[in-house]
């Protein structure tokens, strides 16, 4: 099995497990799903750092966009917490 296939399979399995657990626990906030899936994506991408340079560059761009979305959600939650006082 090539490294790309292992990478994709691990992403699919981890995302499936995470989403199933969150649904089983009754989580209904979409931001929680996004944040946890982004963290899992970034960790798995770091574990498979031995991809060719072109693939690493593309995954780096996807990771940067995902991390930017993560930061937007964190900032919105912080604003919500601060403005509630």
Domain range for 79? 3-83
User: How many domains would you assign to the chain?
Assistant: 1
Confidence of residue 21 (pLDDT cuts 50, 70, 90): very high
Q: What confidence score (pLDDT) does residue 85 get? A: 66
| Per-residue pLDDT at 51 exceeds 80 | no
| Per-residue pLDDT at 22 exceeds 90 | yes
Distance CA 32, CA 12 (A): 18
Element spanning 41, H or E? helix 30-47
Distance CA 13, CA 21 (A): 12
Percent of the chain having pLDDT more than 70?
99
């Amino acid at each position: 099995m090539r490294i790309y296939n292992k990478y994709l399979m691990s992403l699919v399995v981890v995302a499936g497990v995470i989403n199933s657990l969150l649904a089983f626990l009754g989580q209904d906030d979409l931001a929680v799903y996004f944040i946890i899936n982004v963290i899992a994506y970034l960790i798995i991408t770091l574990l498979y750092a031995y991809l060719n340079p072109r693939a690493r560059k593309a995954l780096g761009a996807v990771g940067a966009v995902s991390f930017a979305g993560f930061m937007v959600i964190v900032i919105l939650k912080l604003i919500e917490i601060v403005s509630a006082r």
